[in-house]
Structure 1
Amino acid sequence: MAAPASAQQHETAGHTILYSVLATDQLNAEVARRYGIERSDRRGLLTVIVRRKDAAAGDPAVAARIAGTVQSLLGEPQTLRFQEVRGEDAVDYLATFALRRPDTLRFTLDVTPEGGKAETIRFQREFPAD
């Protein structure tokens, strides 16, 4: 699963961390089936990809330890449980979470790339009413 065009990124000295969030009903049915993801406007999907900065090698994807939480403005935090998905030239980390609309969700990610330093990333994403 490649990073969508809407992916945000966090730069470190040696790595680029790409992340994106969407409601799972926006996933292509075949992609959802392949990764065992329920398509629903009540479920969200967070995708994280970590790339090592190495232009000569094409900025390869690398393994990482990833932990995180998601919290609505009024709710308790949900622990994100990441599934590692390896492809030919990719290492993706996927986590699904409960979603209510309208809502603004706050994410906190702790990402430690293989051979790199731990980074904390905080961001939020709005999900308007249907």
Structure 2
Amino acid sequence: MRTIERMAVAMIVGSLAACGGGSAPTPAHPAPPPAELHVGDLHLHATAVNTMALPERVTKSYGIARGEQTWMLLVTVRQGEEGRDVAVPANVVATARDLGGRRIGIPMRELRLDGGLIDNVGTFSISPPDTLQFTVDVTPANGPTRTLEFTREVAK
């Protein structure tokens, strides 16, 4: 979860820095915590965020475009004791379903980061407001597929 925590902090700090001086605005909808699934010593974390809420340097480093209707899904797979866990390569297949029942395929790709970290990132488009039900199938190397499901509100 360290990568997601760093990204959340970077998003908040970057957003505040972009606002300039004065008191920081209070977000209308605070970002929900990442969805998590723990099976034995395998830890899956997923979060979805509007790319406009991310600092430009983050989207550039992830190779994704920013846009009002562009969202990013970030999935991390770690194995081991919390705090001593290591990144695990995995095949990640993700979809979302909106309130109208439309299925949204989210093409995922692996990003290898400094320090041996591995993130799985995908982008998709959605017009707010909506509610999305995510299904993320994760197949770690030499392991069975695990499914993480979670819901997120897409506010206007």
TM-score past 0.5 threshold: yes
- What TM-score, normalized to structure 1? 0.90
- What TM-score, normalized to structure 2? 0.76
8 Å CA contact 2:35, 2:150 repeated in 1: no
- The residue aligned with 1:20 is 47
CA–CA separation in structure 1 for the residues paired with 2:78 and 2:150 = 19
Query: What per-residue deviation string (whole Å, max 9, x for no partner) do you get for residues 28-58 of structure 1?
Result: 1111122221111201110000000246x81
8 Å CA contact 1:14, 1:116 repeated in 2: no
Quick one: percent identity of the two aligned structures?
Answer: 30
Amino acid across the alignment from 1:15 = L
Q: Does 1:89 align with 2:90?
A: no
Q: Does 1:60 align with 2:61?
A: no
**Gap runs ≥5 in structure 1:** none
Query: What per-residue deviation string (whole Å, max 9, x for no partner) do you get for residues 42-86 of structure 1?
Result: 01110000000246x810011011112111111421111111100
1:9 to 19, 29, 36: 36
Please identify which structure carries the higher helix content. 2
Provide runs of 4+ in structure 1 moved above 6 Å: none
2:64 to 25, 37, 57: 37
Rg: which structure is higher?
Answer: 2
**Gap runs ≥5 in structure 2:** 9-32
Q: Does 1:78 align with 2:104?
A: yes
Aligned Cα RMSD in Å? 1.8
8 Å CA contact 1:50, 1:62 repeated in 2: yes
Query: More displaced, 64-73 or 114-123?
Result: 114-123
2:75 to 48, 53, 76: 48
Amino acid across the alignment from 1:124 = T
Amino acid across the alignment from 2:139 = T
Query: More displaced, 6-15 or 38-47?
Result: 6-15
